[in-house]
Structure 1
């Protein structure tokens, strides 16, 4: 059997009647004698839908157990074993329960189709993968169950189940979609008029594209080349000239007259890649096209009119919009314009010719001079004087040669003139030489009469060959110059683009390259807030800067708010392409630098927000623990109806004291973290002995829990004793907290081997240690070691807000030292603190009082 056919009922929203229509179609096919079964249908408690199941064979569902719960899914094997002609399978985008053969129901349907079973299914527009983010932005609800668009697109039949938003809301209000207790919430949220209207438009547009694809496929299969203007596609032909904006806006208005109109802009580039169109003009017209809701296309071809028509026929366009030619009217009498050719060859496609303010105001296209003024002067002199000199020479030896050799010599002179001076000096040499040949070297002499017809033919051929050769030589010279110029431009732009992509260039560097490339005195990038606002200088290479774009000898408008002004020698017209490319690259780099700054600022704000959020969560929880202990102890002591014993009172007072100490440490850490975040820590440096600081730092831990090994022979540290004590205290308290009962934490210090400028302090515990992956993050704020390591007393109180190590690292960094975590041999964690003996340079006199 061949592959089965798929029919899909597409709806804009739940409740429009997809399942109802699918079941109705099933009944119609049963009445026609077709073998139909219900593979899976979800009625959602809707009575009218449930009624349609009567009279149809329903395949029992398969039960699947997942995480202790039982779910029902379509029994794919049972449907395959039953082998009906048609299977009704609801909710094509459904995700199967884990443990099923396929992850998605559309994959089950694909297996049914492969077995030769026709399938009728349903899906809503919000489940299509390509529209998932659009639907989420409209409704605020992200659909978790999606289906690839191509699965629905390749269906043999797609039928849109449409309903107006008002009718669907009435259906909900009548209780035909959801239970009565859910109606009000549904109407107020997902089923608002605006949401339903937008979803309906998405469904209609997606379906229109599907119909358009089917039409194109039919035309291709049937070999139909004629235009079928089923949709208003308006093609706007652009040359890059100033009239482009007028044409685009006129085309957009025409496309907007009917529903579903499309705007397509097309620009034809020459096949040789040489174009006089400024790239900035096309960029602006591309941006305008996109802002008008259209698409911009570039095609390559020598025949501009033919390329435009081929493109229009390829997209099945209904109309082409062209502008009136900018060339003067007298020129059009010699050569037909592109617009006239499009009109003449358009056939069934309508052509809309738009007049504009530049119509007929163009000038003759000037050919770029390939030669310098000195070479052109030399060419004219060679054409005149060389012809005279050659004639005098040949006349002197008239008896030693004949006319054919004379013609070859004058032809050689003409080619030489073309090489030196270009086309027109060569043409002059050919004509002037032919006259001299006729007068002095063609019998009868000293007259323009030619006695022998063969000589007349030879002179005529000479003139034609000379002019032809001169034209070819001149064209080759011009092409050589154009190729060299294009190669130079390409190398320049390639180097520019490469440096920009590698991130090597700043805006100032690009402007400096531009200044050097064109030998300018100053290149200034200007910016303003809006049209009509004052210009301000962003950066300048050279100097002094231009305060306005028109102050320089050349200017490039990148956008309404960005411009480039150059002061220096005048530029050739061909240089503007490279100039505009530099200008746009400078604008891109400027935007990228600002985006990078904004991204960095956003990251800082995000980090600050994360810290504030974590701080709020931590404070709201961890401040309550000691406060609760303090309040409970005080409340208990104040109760008059209970006679507390001395031991009970002592225990309650001890609890209050411990909670107060914990609260004080927490507040101190929060204040220290705030100072570190705001960078207000300024060490107060003075000579400090490490054997005096470390004992003070360990006074807050239980007696006997720490063993000290601090030699008195260590050199003095020039540091901030208060900050160092706080850092060591936090590290030691953290080590004691996670050491097993009875195990001492060892604190030792020594000079770093091989150096005389650093002291290493090691805090060694025998606790559970820290995973290697956690060592990189354990010094960040609110990283709680208690999440992975249990305190020595087995409680959770030690987890805290995770500020101790963060504060310790901040203080050590401020003192010019380092702190790192290492594994203790035999198990545990060793914190290694390295401190410089030399003082840390202080750049500000501001001081922060010690918090010893």
Structure 2
């Protein structure tokens, strides 16, 4: 079974293969050194593709004044370079925007490791190529072996020259094809002497330094090994994909320990090469100890950040651990991560320091048990400045006040001891001097305690040890006391300083965790994307004290500022969340490519904002921007920003999914409504239309002779069918108004008895075959309501009662006052309502399941419910005690009970007129 699992295709590889299918193909022409013919071979291959009908364009090719290369380049279409001004000079670079606009099928890009001129979109040319590949454009490019990042220190060891322009290994490894261009060293040196590589002034210097036969052979071996490793990797991937049996090495993991040392970069490259050779995973561990962390300045912090970023570029997993015991933390991480090999650097400090502090390498080897330890010899190298800079934490300003207060305490103890010298023994006096030392150490730290200890020793020696009033010591035992003083100050002061720094570190981390918790708690219950954006930018802006902006896609898929936080604005808010055009362009690039860009990065670093993509499962949810200005960002801020961005991406995605679910529910409900509407209306309109058509056709038949009674029956059929259609259409229109929110009440004083009488008259001949009875309580108060709509409610209830009552049956209309409400009910003489349908009969298009199904759309009671609830009333249904169904509704009585208006109506009625207005 384990062998079968090892042969199974890696899901990550399958995802990468799917990703490759949606991007352009990268072909790298790799050489051991300049002049081997990489550019020439690339141009020949481009001519072959052009002859096949492929649209080829030259993005950037450097001929170095070589005639053969120039001839091949003349016959290929070229895209004009971009002209840039840098320090008063006019320079040209590849125009990536022009290439993306033209979108050729294949573009040629020479010198992959080139560093672009300041002002370009990306700092490095391989980043330009990555954007072209993501746009689906195939790329041919050239590269020398010394420009591969993991081989940088090996090349420096071979040639003695440190190459500054490098390409990350992960970028070269994603190439679809690597073609090795190789010629013998003798031919390369001859080409160099013939002036086909460099101009004549540079030939002799190149032959003496870089282009020595031994160097060329070593570089050729590196290029051959790298290409062979790539072929072996492709073969292993093919075997795994097609489940071909073969020797599969056991999975391992290589860990490298990095620090602020300038040699950590070499260890990272060595660990990457070891992991690649072992076909193992690779991770980099940084132990964040208080004793090392706080004294680090900006240079050391920047170096740590660059080392971590180098490990990430080489495909390693980053692990940061806080602790005091470096060896213990390294081994804990190694065992938790199932590490099989640990790479550390060979110590460069003196043996005396190793004797005093102990050897980290020896401790690690002694306690490693089953883990292999690789000790790498490191060499000094010139450091490059990183484009990503971080700021050191604010250190407390140096102050002499603690020192002065420690000296004052020493002077007070000295005065007390001097006044009581006849009563104090020297031992008691010495113990008194310990007090200011301990207090200074606990209160102010190491430096004040050292100075206080030194002052105490001098004062004790000068005033209390014979010979007095001199610094001479006649008793050797006092030297031991002085040593104890100094040891106490050193141990207590140093330990207290460490504890204070640990407390500061704990507080910082507690603040980070608290701010993340507060933000996650605030957005947990918010599903509106706009509110999520506003909460996010305000929270992050307050926490880091910078202007922030969150950009989300609009309805057209265009990125637009959704929320903005301005630290200088009133209450930290801005009226218009907008970005300058240049910053918007950078944000659009981040949205299109899903990569960090802007200030403090290597992509479009001239921007004022740092833009971070909000991604969830490789889906872009938005872009978050932070205005950096001239301020630098601490590592804590950077880590918090990425954590906040992850939370914001999840919250925005949750809001979008909630809105999508709501729209889907509305769409589903609308579809159900449409289906029910068509099914119901098609029947309810077709039946009366058929009756009207038949009656009209009979009346228009000139040959038939109908009696007056038959003609009257036909005309009544037309009238009843028209009334039925009118009610159906009216119900549909009322439903449409209610659903759209256009139902408006026209409030006026209403008399319940008048409403009942009007409703009965509107029913007309529909109720002539039924026995209508009204039971209206006398002296009912007037209502403040929409009389017409209440009449419509009664008409629908009467129509419903007629449908479910047999001809000649009794229908009762009742109205009584019950407290602050008037209850109006309509009772039929039908079979009643089944209990399971009692709560559903007020839903749209729902009709109770009864033995005799009456005609109707199922909208009448739904409309009644909406109208009654608009009057702040209630409606319900129940079965009567003697059979039949009772549908009742309530309407609130005005606060004065309508008494004022009742008296006015009675007084006016005595004069022969009625006034029902206010």
TM-score of the pair, normalised by structure 1: 0.52
The alpha-carbon deviation at position 763 of structure 1 amounts to 0.4
Between Structure 1 and Structure 2, how many residues are aligned? 585
Match of 1:782 in 2: 845
Give SS of 1:790's match: coil
Assess if the C-alpha contact under 8 Å between 1:562 and 1:587 holds in 2: no
Indicate the residue corresponding to 1:424 in structure 2: 447
Are the counterparts in 1 of residues 538 and 565 from structure 2 also a CA contact under 8 Å?
Answer: no
Q: Cα gap change, 1:337/1:686 in structure 2, threshold over 3 Å: closer, same or farther?
A: farther
1:731-761 per-residue CA deviation (whole Å, 9 max, x = no partner) reads 11112211245421111223x2223xx4321
Q: Equivalent residue for 1:768?
A: 831
- Secondary structure of 2:887 counterpart: strand
Residue 419 to residue 262, structure 1, CA distance change in 2 (3 Å): closer
User: Secondary structure of 1:699's partner?
Assistant: helix
Q: Tell me the CA shift for residue 778 of structure 1.
A: 1.6
- 2:495 is paired with a residue of what secondary structure? helix
1:423 CA displacement: 1.6
Conserved? CA contact 2:613–2:624, under 8 Å = yes
> 1:409, CA displacement in angstroms?
2.4
Task: Give deviations 1:488-542, integer Å, cap 9, x for gaps.
Answer: 776676666556556699659967995998797x976543559996645356770
Match of residue 542, structure 1, among 571, 590, 607? 571
Measure how far apart 1:762 and its partner are: 0.7
Matched, 1:678 2:731: no
Q: Is the 8 A contact 2:612 2:625 kept in 1?
A: yes
1:754 alignment counterpart: 819
Say which SS state the counterpart of residue 818 (structure 2) adopts: coil
Q: Secondary structure at the match of 2:826?
A: strand
Cα distance, 1:764 vs structure 2: 0.9
In the alignment, structure 1 residue 527 sits paired with structure 2 residue 520 = no
Q: How many Å separate the matches in 1 of 2:520 and 2:825?
A: 52
Unaligned stretches of 5+ residues in structure 2: 9-236, 297-307, 584-598, 600-607, 615-621, 896-918
In the superposition, relative to structure 1, how do residues 237 and 743 fare at CA in structure 2: closer, same or farther (>3 Å)? farther
Q: State whether structure 2 residue 730 is matched by structure 1 residue 730.
A: no
1:701 to 759, 763, 766: 766
Q: Distance in 1 between matches of 2:882 and 2:315?
A: 69
Partners of 1:240 and 1:707 in 2: how far apart? 96
Judge conservation of contact 1:761–1:833 (CA < 8 Å) in 2: yes
The answer to whether structure 1 residue 666 and structure 2 residue 728 are counterparts is yes
1:391-470 maps to which residues of 2 (within 5 A)?
391=414, 394=417, 403-444=426-467, 450-470=473-493
Q: Is the 8 A contact 2:533 2:563 kept in 1?
A: no
| Cα pair distance change 1:428/1:240, threshold 3 Å | closer
CA contact (8 A) 2:561 2:578 kept: yes
Work out the CA distance in 1 between the residues paired with 2:280 and 2:719: 78
1:251–1:503: structure 2 CA closer, same or farther, 3 Å change rule?
farther
Residues 1:832 and 2:897 aligned together:
no
Q: Distance in 1 between matches of 2:521 and 2:835?
A: 40
Mapped to 1, the partners of 2:270 and 2:828 lie a distance apart of 80
Q: Residues 808-819 of structure 1: matches in 2 within 5 Å?
A: 808-819=864-875
Contact 1:696 1:725 in 2 (8 A): no
Distance in 2, Cα, partners of 1:465 & 1:619: 97
Whole-angstrom distance in 1 between the partners of 2:315 and 2:851: 61
Q: 1:694 Cα deviation (Å)?
A: 2.5
1:823 paired with 2:888, answer: no
Query: Could you tell me how far 1:475 is from its partner in structure 2?
Result: 3.8
Which of the residues 663, 668, 673 maps onto 1:611? 673
1:309-338 residue CA offsets vs partner (Å, 9 max, x unmatched): 666666667888x9999x9999x9999999
2:541·2:548 contact (CA, 8 Å) conserved in 1?
Answer: no
Q: Secondary structure at the match of 1:825?
A: coil
Whether the 8 Å CA contact 1:232–1:255 is kept in 2: the answer is no
In 2, the alpha carbon distance for the partners of 1:346 and 1:463 equals 40
Q: SS of 1:561's equivalent?
A: strand
Q: Is the 8 A contact 1:309 1:346 kept in 2?
A: no
User: 1 CA distance for matches of 2:613 and 2:788?
Assistant: 58
Query: Does the residue aligned with 2:772 lie in a helix, a strand or coil?
Result: strand
Matches within 5 A, 1:162-181: none
**3-state SS of 1:698 partner:** helix
In structure 1, stretches of 5+ residues that fail to align are 1-7, 13-200, 212-227, 278-285, 840-852
CA distance in 2 between partners of 1:473 and 1:655 (Å): 104
8 Å CA contact 1:749–1:759 kept in 2: the answer is yes
Match of 2:170 in 1: none
Q: Residues 363 and 563 (structure 1 numbering): CA distance in 2 closer, same or farther, change over 3 Å?
A: closer
Match of 2:102 in 1: none
Q: How does 1:449-598 map to 2 (within 5 A)?
A: 450-479=473-502, 501=524, 526-527=550-551, 529=553, 535=561, 537-538=563-564, 542-543=571-572, 545=574, 559=614, 561-563=623-625, 596=658
Q: Deviations over 1:591-643 (max 9, x none)?
A: 65665555444444433332123223333444444445555666788899999
Superposed displacement of residue 380, structure 1:
0.7
